Chain A
Amino acid sequence: MHEMSIMQSLFKILVEKAKAAKAQRIRSVTLRIGRLSGIEADLLSTAFQVVSKETMAEGAELKVVTSPFQIKCKQCNALFKSSDRLLFECPECGSKDVQVEPDDDLMVENMEVEIASSDL
């Protein structure tokens, strides 16, 4: 499961940033995952729970932001979206000559941390 490997990479970044911020605990983490990143958002939360065990992120909430597929019709220029299945046909004119936005983001956007009161 490559989600595990991705979570380990994520953790390296989180720990580094948490140390720099003198954080004691990570409360939540927000990711932005593109529909063409090859990552299943659902599988990420399981992997996150496993990797965060006994770390400063244990019990933290993982928020995953995904956008719908965005498709443009090359015939009539209609822009359309689809949140479940990727559509290869324009709902406006029926053309199959379409272009899919290559949204392959795999970003960690921010995290919510707790800082010891003595460090504030």
Chain B
Amino acid sequence: MQVPIYENILKSNDYLAEENQDLFNRERVFVVGILGSPGAGKTTLLEKTISALKNVNLRPAVLVGDLATSRDAERIQQHGIPCAQLTTGGACHLEAQQVNKALKDFDLKTIDILFIENVGNLVCPTGFKLGEHIRTVVFSIPEGDEKVEKYPATFQKADCIILNKIDYLTLQSFDVEKPKREAYALNPDLVWINCSCATGEGIEEWINYLKTAREKRLNENG
């Protein structure tokens, strides 16, 4: 006998992600998911972002997912902001339920923007919503200009793409227009930012993007 089902396989994760987002909305916390390969510069970007956000009177917090170590969390904690670490014990991505548990480590009332740094991986986290309002994918010049072509699923779901380490452009042949064009073919509503955490290029643009996206979201939620 055939049993029709027609259900989204990840519906239980989607449901928990929605619950997370309801909680964020109630507490007026804007949540940004950060994805990217190991070494792309996710944690470095967050460190730069923390300082810049403090200057515009927004209170950041960070939840870091990592396979085993707490090195990233230690780096963030030096900036004196709320930070929690989720070690996945080898799992290649975060899931909504883990994020929900980790939220108990935060006082959401004292946070304006929460960043969730996912496990360094361009494939596995893609299908797992966490409750974030926007997703940012960080990739960097040394990784080569074929990243978007190779991992279209991840880039298609990015609201913002940070092409980091743009300071390496002088050292390496890299066609910036290629991945950019491909990313817009996957998602025409995308925001693309060339960035260098070494020189500070693009950081202001990124902060402005975050501010605008956050205000838009807060207005939508009333």
Contact = CB atoms under 8 A, between A and B. Distances in A.
A48 B194 CA distance: 41
Contact of A113 (B3, B8, B9, B126): B3
B43 interface: no
Contacts of A36: 152-153, 156, 186
A21 to B, nearest CB: 5
Contacts of B2: 110-113
Interface string A1-43: 1100110011011100110010100000001000111110000
Interface residues of A, number: 39
Q: Is the interface of A mostly helix, strand, loop or mixed?
A: mixed
Given A6-B127, A100-B186, 15 more contacts: A2-B92, A2-B93, A5-B93, A5-B95, A6-B10, A9-B12, A17-B5, A36-B152, A38-B126, A88-B149, A88-B182, A102-B187, A106-B10, A108-B6, A110-B3
Given A9-B13, A12-B12, A38-B126, A102 B156 contact: yes
Interface of A: 1-2, 5-6, 9-10, 12-14, 17-18, 21, 23, 31, 35-39, 71, 86, 88, 96-100, 102, 104, 106-115
A17 B149 contact: no
A104 B153 contact: yes
